[in-house]
Chains A and B, each alone.
Chain A
């Protein structure tokens, strides 16, 4: 019984630590989202009724051109292209260059899909790649669905620039 307050005190201390670290390091790419955040991310996107809005977990490499280039290299070297085709056009696996995401298109959802694998052929890369590399891959995959006019390191363009 006496351990409970101590435990909660310890936990609250732990909960503050990453925030403190964040304050110190700013938004440096070394700061990866924690597992507790990721496990709360709904994956699936096919549930009826619709789930709560996706909790936004930011990808530290989302706007980092060198990380995106590394993600692109991983996309080829890990043979993602075998199923999703170069540039993510799709083949055996679903295309990644459109706006349809079977298991969600938010960075954290893409991260979890790569991490855990998905039914019907998507393997889990949890043993093959460190989290850091999966976030880089996620950043690259997110660029595939942007139109060529949009530079990868710019925010998504407004409506008028995309469609003819």
Chain B
């Protein structure tokens, strides 16, 4: 008897724990890792606890009231039902309203305090990034102290751990929304308007982000990654990204470079390219191979994905601006081997 009673809660808690583990996936916003998100996460859990408590208490009271029975009163002498005696039930209303008022007011104050806590970082960010949303990828700019000192990458943001980072958000086409759930709330990215967001990662790691405002057919395939690194590793990454691409050496890569110049350079930039590939429509490919994914998180970045993507991006991400390439197999292999030199 006692054993089955003990098993019952365990039987309930195991699926609950499993469900919580599921919730904490790459986009799980119930467990966060930075001060731009943590106050909101605490509020989220707190309001959820209050809501659950209110539901349980009200359900218990309703059940209690409906199950409670009074013995029927004897009819009055004149045959009418007897008047209900005042048993003090109205006091439940006063107590209930008073408790609700206090809890609701408390939640309001907590919400306002949370909003002010996540509105701005507690100290001035040392790093400001510019993120431009496109259908369907993210362009990321790191500016140095001098104006021409700018580095452009795509779909992968690197930040130093423990540092607040300011993000300037602009859209090139339609309304998007910048959302890295483990590090902060959503900020809409609106054409013709500059919005600001900030993030801070307290732990090293890779955090997934996603466009959070429906922006067209490939909205679901508009992901980004935020890689939080120790400051020395971050600085090394930044210096490596600022470097210009080298000249391909292997014969296959050299002929691939020719294909790249005629077929790709109008839309894609490779900084330092001898033929001046400086297109602005597609992502900057100067350090393509340093990124973990291609096509805004659509595919892992490897040789097979690159072949498929270059050959026919429309089959992989229909509607993307990247057109189908009518390349011979030799040219396809050559251009991918050139891309693989862009470390």
Contact = CB atoms under 8 A, between A and B. Distances in A.
Interface in B246-281: 261-263, 265-267, 276, 278-281
A79 B263 contact: yes
B314 interface: yes
Interface stretch (B56-64, B148-156, B161-169, B323-331): B323-331
A128 interface: yes
A interface SS class: loop
B52 to A, nearest CB: 48
A91 B318 CA distance: 12
B343 interface: no
A92 B281 CA distance: 15
Contact of A123 (B266, B276, B314): B266
B321 interface: yes
Contacts of B278: 127
Max count, chain B CB within 10 A of own CB: residue among A120, A123, A125: A123
A91 B321 CA distance: 12
A82 B267 contact: no
Contact of A83 (B173, B263, B323): B323
A91 B324 CA distance: 10
Contact of B279 (A76, A77, A92, A123): A123
A120 B319 CA distance: 11
A58 to B, nearest CB: 26
9 contacts: A78-B263, A79-B323, A92-B314, A92-B321, A120-B173, A125-B266, A127-B265, A128-B261, A128-B279
Interface of B: 173, 261-263, 265-267, 276, 278-281, 314, 321, 323-326
Among all A-B residue pairs, the 3 with the closest Cβ atoms: A82-B323, A123-B266, A83-B323
